[in-house]
C-alpha cells in the first residue's frame, strides 16, 4: 500500500513514520502534489502553532492540494484542527473541510490543567475509523485547543467539557489524539484507517 505523510514543518512526522513502520508500512514523506494525489492514503500530522503552520501550507500550495484529495486522509492533532474552518489560535482561517471552529480550552477550576496532556478515554465512537472495540479505550492527547462537538464528530472525549476526539466527513478523517503514541489501541486505529 502506498501511504504518504504530508511533509511540512510539523513536529511529529517521524513518530507517525515509525508507527507505520511498526505496522509493516514504509510511508513516503513528501510535499509533492502529484505524489500526494497518487497515494492510497494520506496522513496529515501536526504539532505546532496554527497560524504559522497555515501560512507555511499556503506558501507551499499545500492548502489546495489537501482540499483536492479524494483518497482517505487522516489529520492528527493540529492536522485535525487545520482541517476545520478556523482556529482561535492566532485567529487563523484554516482549510474548511469541517465547517466548525477550533476553540481555546478555558479552565473552570484549579484542577483543569491546560494543555490537556495525557491519557483519556474515547466514547460514542463511530464506524469507519473505529470499531466497537475502541469504545471507552484510553488514547494519548496533547493540546490546548479543541474542536467542539458538531455533526462530524466521530468520537467524544470529556475534558473540561465534551469535545470532538475525532471527526469524519466523506474521505476526511481526523483525530485530536495521537494514535502513533497511543500504544496498542492507537495501532488498531491506524490499522482501521489503513484498511478503509
Edge-to-edge strands, sheet with 98-104: 92-93, 84-87, 98-104, 145-146
Q: Give the shortest CB-186-to-other proteins separation in angstroms.
A: 6
CB of 100 or CB of 157, closer to other proteins: 157
CB of 87 or CB of 100, closer to other proteins: 87
Q: Does the active-site annotation cover 77?
A: yes
Question: Is residue 159 a contact residue for other proteins (CB under 8 A)?
Answer: no
Choice among 77, 94, 116, 168 that is catalytic: 77
Question: Is residue 160 a contact residue for other proteins (CB under 8 A)?
Answer: no
Residue 78 and residue 47 in contact, taking contact as beta carbons nearer than 8 Å: yes
| Cell numbers placing 171 | 474521505
What values do phi and psi take at 42, rounded to 5?
Answer: -125, 135
Residue from 19, 57, 66, 129 touching other proteins (CB under 8 A): that is 19
Q: Give the shortest CB-119-to-other proteins separation in angstroms.
A: 5
Alpha helix stretches (DSSP H) within 39-136: 50-59, 62-68, 78-82
Binding mask 29-68 for other proteins (x = CB under 8 A): ------------------xxx-------------------
Q: Give the shortest CB-47-to-other proteins separation in angstroms.
A: 7
- For 109, the 3-state DSSP assignment is coil
In 10-147, DSSP assigns E strands to 28-30, 41-44, 73-76, 84-87, 92-93, 98-104, 116-121, 138-143, 145-146
Question: Is residue 118 a contact residue for other proteins (CB under 8 A)?
Answer: yes
CA-based diameter of the chain, in Å? 49
Q: Give the shortest CB-98-to-other proteins separation in angstroms.
A: 23
| Residues identified as active-site | 77, 178, 180
Amino acid at each position: 500500500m502506498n501511504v504518504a505523510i504530508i511533509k511540512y514543518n510539523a513536529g511529529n512526522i517521524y513518530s507517525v513514520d515509525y508507527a507505520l513502520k511498526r505496522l509493516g508500512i514504509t510511508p513516503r514523506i513528501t510535499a509533492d502534489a502529484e505524489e500526494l494525489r497518487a497515494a492510497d492514503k494520506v496522513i496529515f500530522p501536526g504539532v505546532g502553532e496554527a497560524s504559522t503552520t497555515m501560512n507555511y501550507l499556503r506558501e507551499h500550495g499545500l492548502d489546495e492540494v489537501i482540499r483536492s484529495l479524494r483518497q482517505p486522509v487522516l489529520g492528527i492533532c493540529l492536522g485535525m484542527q487545520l482541517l476545520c474552518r478556523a482556529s482561535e489560535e492566532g485567529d487563523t482561517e484554516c482549510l474548511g473541510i469541517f465547517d466548525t471552529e477550533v476553540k481555546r480550552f478555558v479552565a473552570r477550576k484549579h484542577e483543569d490543567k491546560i494543555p490537556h496532556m495525557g491519557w483519556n478515554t474515547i466514547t460514542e465512537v463511530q464506524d469507519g475509523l473505529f470499531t466497537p472495540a475502541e469504545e471507552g479505550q484510553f488514547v494519548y492527547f496533547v493540546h490546548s485547543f479543541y474542536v467542539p462537538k458538531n455533526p462530524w464528530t466521530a468520537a467524544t472525549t470529556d475534558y473540561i467539557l465534551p469535545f470532538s476526539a475525532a471527526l469524519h466527513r466523506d474521505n476526511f478523517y481526523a483525530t485530536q489524539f495521537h494514535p502513533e503514541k497511543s500504544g496498542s489501541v492507537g495501532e488498531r486505529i491506524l490499522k482501521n484507517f489503513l484498511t478503509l
